[in-house]
A = this chain, B = another copy of it.
């Protein structure tokens, strides 16, 4: 009533959409049946990439504010989870693409040279906005990745590469986490104490174990001491910063601490949604990795040892990128420093109270 009537066909722009498939093999008079599938799989990828970018931009703008309102956290977490849901869907598209056999692909493969998935501007944007830095990327054909984009895209990409990524903004947000210290409470000191106590107890248990031969005792104790030592990275800011400079960590010392607090005390009302946000970021990283990996396998199947349409040694590049292109790796690393919940020092009542509601 209030708005002019709308028809499904126009609303969805089906004219431009369904006329945007132009198989090269038809153009060259050698129609290859499976080229349409190839086009449509990639077009749906790009439509989903557009959606992912849209969600990502909205989450970015939330996290780039000087203070992130608690009332926006639920939305941010839902939108990140939506990205995960889309990524899981498009992993399934590989199954559809694989109904095309390598021989069917050969019917039009030469006609696409040198087009390649590496030229997907939107995928590169997703990676960049999430926080994949140029130094994190595998070199591809000896040029920086953006060289395979069109000129105007290169300009935009360089611009975006200079803006804060989601990784950067999440780091700042983590650094602002309250509760890390105050009122006779220092999260970090109390955690350090608990870790030390736990390992010392373990060492004593081993030493006092009458069934254990001396040699094995020594070996086990040495192992425990070494693991304990690895925690130093977390307890000594200088040591941490040294490792960070070497590339072992990316998040700041303070942000790591905050992330650990959120993980260990995720049941406190105020940390429930932040915990979901960290989990969604892990899921995005893991799902993107899985997507790349499925593509690497598919490329190997499609091309054997041949070179990819873009001139890359296709599946090899993808398999390597798979391992390397991690963004929120520190959230994975953090697990190394978890201790069993029974050993985690309980929060002082005053702190726990402030993490909850009062109505």
Contacts and interface: CB of A to CB of B under 8 A. Distances in A.
Contacts of A172: none
A215 interface: no
A290 interface: yes
A24 B304 CA distance: 46
A184 interface: no
B301 A290 contact: no
A269 B271 CA distance: 11
Nearest to A270: B357
A74 interface: yes
A179 interface: yes
Contacts of A119: 7-9
Contacts of A12: 20, 39, 42-43, 46
Nearest to A272: B74
Interface string A1-16: 1110111110111101
A162 interface: no
Nearest to A39: B12
A103 B264 CA distance: 7
A252 interface: no
Interface string A92-131: 1101100101110011011111111111111000000000
Contact of A332 (B17, B301, B356): B301
A143 interface: no
Given A37-B82, A107-B342, A17 B304 contact: no
Given A13-B43, A70-B269, A293-B290, A6 B99 contact: no
A99 B52 CA distance: 13
Contact of A40 (B51, B78, B286): B51
A184 to B, nearest CB: 16
Contacts of A286: 297, 301
A332 B304 contact: yes
Interface of A: 1-3, 5-9, 11-14, 16-22, 24, 28, 30, 33, 36-37, 39-40, 42-44, 46-48, 50-51, 54, 58, 70-75, 78, 81-82, 85-86, 88-89, 92-93, 95-96, 99, 101-103, 106-107, 109-122, 150, 153, 178-179, 202, 205-206, 209, 212, 220, 230, 263-264, 266-270, 272-273, 275, 279, 282, 286, 289-290, 293-294, 297, 300-306, 319, 323, 332-342, 354-359
Main secondary structure of the interface of A (DSSP, over half): helix
Closest 3 CB pairs of A and B: A304-B335, A304-B336, A13-B20
A214 to B, nearest CB: 15
A338 B102 contact: yes
Contacts of A82: 37, 96, 99
Contacts of A14: 46
A193 to B, nearest CB: 18
